């Protein structure tokens, strides 16, 4: 594992940002950014599948305690962590092989955008899908799309900053 | 043997994924409102102080409207007091019994309205004698929720906009009762169910609380928006616009019903 300390600090920052800032924003019922997924998005490219699952569980569980959602965040985050290798394959293909962080370098900005969008959309779809359990389908879909849009912008900005700091 | 290790290596991740997801989904589906409140109480130990500090930043901006609301409330209470003082002696004597309701004030430090299960956290807890099932009202006396779990310095309250929230409500002019529930859609609106189809409700009618072990009676819940008679004439429902603006809770009143526990215990038997 590389850059363990940087990633521990990143984890703490992401959790605090979500718990203290984004959970208190209350902009609109349609924009509920689940920003913390950025941690799974930006884990090193070569992170093993078991590590992905364990870190996803830890992140989800911490967010569940913070939001009082009893498992909802864990369900969504673990699913995204499990699907990540496949999503990287689809969106970035071979560009990613020589990179440590899945942003910048040989990775085209559009590939990263596609990757981040699929990750975030999957995460929010599972989260809000489970939360509403099939009721208010159109409202939930609008919520997923708008929240994902905002989250993808936030994730991309964070990725730029993270790349500059961690390299 | 080598093939077996290879096989285990290949299925380890999917297997772990399935196990974690099954556990998480099992926990989520079995969780009730108390489990969720417990988790929030737990996290308040870490973030409660910070949230309290954040929420105090905006204090000064609301002073003007808060003062106005306060003086309106004083006028209201003064006029109630005047009628009480002028009433005959025997009425006054009976009202001098120990008050069945105790009031206290608190401030909301964390709030949510956009989830399906919304809770808010207040800055009073066990050490301030806050306990579960105390009613939470806005300063104007509108119903906002009730306390569900306490830690030493904070308490988590279930908002009216929570799919597990339930209480009794009735029309202030005709006393027809129904049970209140939120459908998870818009936090401004709730439904009052099991209303008789012949009840006379018109838009704008006031809906107030019925006596229960949590809520004091005759507190304003909201105003009728629409009366929907059911086809089978069995349970019509009202759409009620909440009087309290749940997204802007700040100062709240806590109400403890001294006889609440006794009432709950007795009702629980039948």
The CATH number linked to B219 is 2.40.10.340
Q: Which of residues 127-156 of A touch B (CB under 8 A)?
A: 130-132, 135-136, 139
Q: What is the mean pLDDT of residues A62-76?
A: 91
| Number of domains making up chain B | 1
* Residue B27 resides in a domain: no
Residue B225 lies in domain: 104-270
CA-based torsion, B161, A28, A76, A39: positive or negative: negative
Closest to A127 in 3D by CA, of B107, B24, B230: B24
| Number of other CB atoms surrounding residue B79 within 10 Å | 10
* Residue B245 resides in a domain: yes
CA-based torsion, B185, B187, B188, B194: positive or negative: positive
* Residue B13 resides in a domain: no
pLDDT digit string, tens, across residues B92-109: 555 545 568 888 889 998
On whether ipTM exceeds 0.95, the answer is no
C-alpha Rg value of chain A to the nearest Å: 15
Q: Indicate the pairing of strand B220-228 with strand B206-209.
A: antiparallel
Q: Do A24 and B13 touch (CB under 8 A)?
A: no
A79 → closest Cβ in B21, B113, B117: B21
- Residue A101 has φ and ψ, to the nearest 5°, of -100, 140
* Residue B11 resides in a domain: no
Q: Which of A32-41, B47-56, B113-122 bottoms out in mean pLDDT, i.e. has the lowest? A: B47-56
Closest to B257 in 3D by CA, of B126, B153, B137, B174: B137
Compare all CA atoms of chain A with the CA of B48 and give the residue at the minimum distance: A20
Report the distance separating Cα B64 and Cα B42, nearest Å: 35
Closest to A139 in 3D by CA, of B63, B48, B183, B117: B183
Read off the pTM.
Answer: 0.77
More confident residue, A95 or B258: B258
Structure tokens at B61: 């901006």
Q: What is the mean pLDDT of residues B222-246?
A: 87
| Number of domains making up chain A | 1
Report the distance separating Cα A78 and Cα A60, nearest Å: 7
Contact list, B31 vs chain A (CB under 8 Å): 70-71
């Amino acid at each position: 594992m590389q850059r363990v300390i940087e990633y521990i600090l990143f984890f703490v920052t992401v959790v605090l940002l979500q718990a203290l800032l984004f959970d208190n924003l209350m902009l609109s019922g349609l924009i509920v950014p689940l920003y913390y997924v950025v941690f799974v998005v930006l884990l090193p490219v070569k992170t093993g599948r078991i590590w992905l699952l364990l870190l996803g569980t830890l992140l989800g569980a911490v967010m569940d305690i913070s939001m009082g959602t009893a498992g909802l965040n864990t369900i969504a985050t673990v699913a995204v962590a499990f699907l990540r290798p496949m999503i990287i394959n689809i969106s970035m293909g071979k560009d990613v092989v020589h990179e440590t962080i899945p942003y910048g370098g040989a990775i085209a900005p559009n590939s990263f955008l596609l990757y981040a969008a699929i990750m975030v959309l999957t995460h929010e779809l599972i989260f809000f899908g489970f939360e509403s359990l099939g009721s208010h389908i159109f409202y939930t879909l609008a919520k997923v799309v708008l929240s994902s849009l905002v989250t993808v912008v936030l994730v991309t900005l964070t990725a730029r900053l993270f790349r500059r700091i961690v390299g | 043997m080598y093939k077996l290790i290879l096989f285990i290596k290949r299925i380890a991740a999917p297997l772990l994924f399935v196990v974690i997801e099954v556990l998480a989904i099992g926990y989520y589906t079995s969780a009730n409102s108390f489990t969720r409140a417990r988790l929030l109480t737990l996290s308040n130990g870490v973030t409660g102080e910070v949230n309290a500090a954040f929420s105090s930043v905006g204090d000064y901006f609301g002073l003007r409207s808060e003062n106005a609301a306060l003086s309106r409330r004083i006028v209201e209470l003064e006029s109630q007091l005047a009628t009480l003082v002028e009433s005959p002696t025997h009425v006054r004597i009976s009202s001098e019994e120990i008050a069945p309701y105790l009031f206290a004030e608190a401030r909301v430090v964390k709030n949510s309205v956009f989830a399906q299960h919304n809770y808010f956290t207040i800055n009073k807890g066990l050490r301030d004698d806050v306990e579960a099932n105390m009613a939470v009202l806005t300063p104007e006396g509108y119903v906002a929720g009730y306390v569900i779990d306490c830690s030493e310095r904070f308490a988590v309250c279930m908002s009216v906009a929570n799919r597990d929230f339930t209480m009794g409500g009735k029309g202030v002019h005709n006393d027809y009762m129904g049970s209140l529930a939120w459908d998870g859609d818009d936090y401004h609106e709730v439904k009052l169910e099991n209303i008789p189809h012949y009840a006379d409700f018109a838009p704008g009618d006031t809906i107030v609380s019925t006596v229960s072990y949590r809520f004091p009676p005759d507190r304003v819940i909201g105003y009728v928006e629409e009366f929907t008679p059911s086809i089978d004439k069995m349970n019509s429902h009202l759409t009620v616009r909440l009087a309290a603006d749940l997204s802007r809770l700040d100062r709240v009143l806590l109400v403890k019903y001294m006889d609440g526990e006794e009432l709950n215990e007795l009702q629980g038997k039948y």
